[in-house]
Amino acid sequence: MLSIHDLTATAGETRILDGVDLDVPAGEVHVVMGPNGAGKSTLANVIAGRDGYEVTGTATLDGVDLLGLTPEERAVRGLFLAFQYPVEIPGVGNAAFLRTALNAHRAARGEPEVAAVDFLGLAREHMARLDIDPAFLSRAVNEGFSGGEKKRNEILQMSLLEPRLAVLDETDSGLDLDALRIVAAGIERLRTPERAMVVITHYPRLLDLVRPDRVHVLAAGRIVTSGGPELVATIEAEGFAPLVGSAVG
Amino acid sequence: MTVVADLLDRIGPVAAPSKGAAEARAWLDRHGLPDRRDEAWRYTPVPAVVEALAETPPSDAGPVPSGAVPAAIAIDRDLVDRRAGRPDGPRLVVVDGRLAAPLSDLDALPAAVRVGPAGGAPGAPPADGFEALGRVVGGGAVAVDVGPGGDRRLHVVHVATGRSGGAHPALSLHVSAGAAFELIETFVGVGAAAVVNAATRVTAEDGATVGLVRVVAEDDESVHVGRTAVALGRGATLRGTSVLVGGRIARHALDVDAAAPGSHVDVAGLAVPRHHDRHDTVVTVDHAGDDVRSGQIFRVIAADRGRGSFSGHVIVRPGTVGTDADQSSRALLLGPDAQADSRPWLEIFADDVRCTHGATVGRLDDDALFYLRSRGIPAAEARRLLVAAFAAEVVDRIGDTGTREWVEARVRARTVGAG
């Protein structure tokens, strides 16, 4: 599914990712953890195609080279990034936004557009499944949303767009337990044998709520340790320092 | 020869002499046309307007076959529908300043609304030299009188054919006490460069509620200078929406005389200059009465080398109390060469005043663009969504669906590929 090899990212003079290797097979949930400044959000941004980085190495999704694609091309090929801080967009209605996004995906698959009326029915189904207030649809995108509401909106988008691979950037959201719970519930509900997920976080607490298949520790721009869920207990007990050792010096 | 005399010599009066025309001529001789020293005209290149007026091509350069019939007959309802959208409700069509009765719904006017010629009687002093010039040249003013009642709307489409000497449409609207009425004025061309010098005068009696929607959608090579002067009675409400979506030079001056107490002024504007367009809006609210509330919202979306300017002039007269005036101006620049000017212009001579103003100039939000694109929305579509959202604060005020969608389409067409 997702295969990253020797990925580097440089912003200005600073090398933030320094040779990341990561493989995530279909059906698995992987967690990337690491201390502040390890490059966690950059990893998410580079996979999703945010500009501002000079990137080398490879990142493929189902064999397709992601790095040569625009963000929208990556999205319609099945990549979804759940934002750490979802952007407020006043004046753009959430319903119109979600429908436009869904239709962009459908167009890429050669499927006809969903009419407004059918879309509303579909959106309501997803919202009911995820316990999301239908009033979401009539608001502007994330405008005035609480932290928890923004996360709900991300999960709703993920649910509607049905990505092959979801990358959830939760680097700082451990600060808001409510938001973490929402994300964790979303991950569990949207977990399928065909879908892979990468959860990026700083806080082991998220992993009380999500059961990962693999855990990776990112430090100074590289994956320094990988293991099973038991790695989380080690991190909780001892912090990152013993694991990252030489990489952080 | 003076600029005025030279210009009048070229474009000449087209109407029969009247007392109003004579007074306007005398006013023009005393005051002249605006010049660089006139603060209200800082952002409109007056010499270019004068030059355009003096050089407008003869009328047979327009779509009317040469030597043919008056333009009003060559322009049919379908053409007006295509050019100006089809709003809900009755419509008047004014071609080069003259009411085109065969194209107008004179038999289907709203209840208690009367339409007739304004005549050449002297009116209020001209707002500026171009309004005076329009009165001298003449061309057939239209008067709309609104009797008691509510929930009525009239659409006036001004069509400019590019006739020699420019078009000088004048419209007066009188709304009687307690009545509610909305006037939608749209200005369109027929594919020929035109010069339009438009004056609208509105009187709202005590307690009246007046909606004014004014859309300048002239052709690319056209020049438009327009003004709307509104006098509000006690407790009257003005809800005005001004949109500039056409013309290489487009100016709209909205002057609100709030001399009676308790009136409410709620105005908003949008200008979308592109190419080398210069779009200028000057709003003046004269708080001469007590307890007058006013709000001004203004947005510029400038593409290419377009330049959009907004001046928000607030005057608070000595001795007045209870004034509340807010002003917000934001500009979105869609290219490195686009420009915007925002000028709060406050003249406050009283103490009991709450007055706020704020202005920002920015570009499309990269974070918002990335967010939309990361959901699969192509970059051009993402930009379109963000531009439309920026315009929506003003455009969504247009209650008539046909007009609103027509304006949205113009904004989209003018900003496509920019940003």
For residue B95, give the nearest of B107, B105, B104 by alpha carbon: B104
Mean pLDDT for B108-129 is 86
User: Who contacts B95 (Cβ-Cβ below 8 Å, separation ≥6)?
Assistant: B70, B71, B72, B75, B103, B158, B159, B161
Residues in a beta bridge with B341: B309
Q: What is the CATH number of the domain that holds A74?
A: 3.40.50.300
Is it the case that residue B88 has pLDDT exceeding 90? no
Contact A90 B379 (CB under 8 A): no
Tally of domains in chain A = 1
Distance from CA of B213 to the nearest CA of A (A): 21
Q: Is residue B395 part of a domain?
A: no
Q: Which segments in chain A show pLDDT lower than 70?
A: 173-175, 245-249
Q: Look-up: residue for tokens 């967009």?
A: A89
**Is B232 a domain residue?**
yes
Closest chain B C-alpha to A207 CA, distance in angstroms: 26
**pLDDT tens digits for A114-151?**
999 999 999 999 999 888 889 999 999 999 998 889 99
Beta-carbon separation of A91 and B389 below 8 A: yes
For residue A100, give the nearest of B377, B390, B393 by CB distance.
B377
- Asked if A157's CB is within 8 angstroms of B375's CB, the reply is yes
User: Quick check: is B240 in a domain?
Assistant: yes
Quickly list DSSP for B193-248. --EEEEEEEEEE-TT-EEEEEEEEE--TT-EEEEEEEEEE-TT-EEEEEEEE---S
Cβ contact (<8 Å) for B376 and A83? no
Instruction: Report pLDDT digits (tens) over B126-180.
Output: 999 999 999 998 767 899 999 999 989 999 999 999 888 899 999 999 999 999 9
Tell me how far apart the alpha carbons of residues B257 and B358 are, in angstroms, rounded to a whole number.
23
Of residues A49, A70, A89, nearest to B368 (C-beta): A89
Evaluate whether B187 touches B196 at the Cβ level (below 8 Å): yes
Q: Residue A179 is which amino acid?
A: A
Domain assignment present for residue B412? The answer is: no
List CB contacts (< 8 A) between B386 and chain A.
Answer: 89, 92
Q: Residue B122's pLDDT is what?
A: 64
Report if residue B419 sits inside a domain.
no
As a whole number of angstroms, the distance between CA A214 and CA A228 comes to 5
Nearest CA in chain B to A157: B375
Query: Structural domain of residue A51, as residue ranges?
Result: 2-248
Averaged pLDDT, B38-60? 84
Query: Is the alpha carbon torsion for A181, A182, A184, A189 positive or negative?
Result: positive
Q: What is the mean pLDDT of residues B15-27?
A: 86
- Closest Cα partner for B17 from B103, B144, B122? B122
- Minimal C-alpha gap between B275 and chain A (Å): 26
Number of domains within chain B: 1
With H, G, I as helix, E, B as strand and everything else as coil, classify residue B324: strand
Question: Does residue B281 lie within any of the structural domains?
Answer: yes
Element (H, E) at B181: strand B180-189
Give me the phi and psi of B31, to 5 degrees please: -100, -25
**At B65, is the pLDDT very low, low, confident or very high (cuts 50, 70, 90)?**
very low
Please give the backbone phi and psi of residue A146, each rounded to the nearest 5 degrees, phi first. Answer: -70, 170
Give the residue on A whose Cα is nearest the Cα of B394.
A91
Q: How confident is the model at residue B70 (pLDDT cuts 50, 70, 90)?
A: very low
Residue B409 belongs to some domain of the structure: no
Interface predicted TM-score (ipTM) of this complex, two decimals: 0.95
Among chain A residues, CA nearest to B396:
A91
d(CA A20, CA B261): 71
Q: Which domain holds residue B66?
A: 3-362
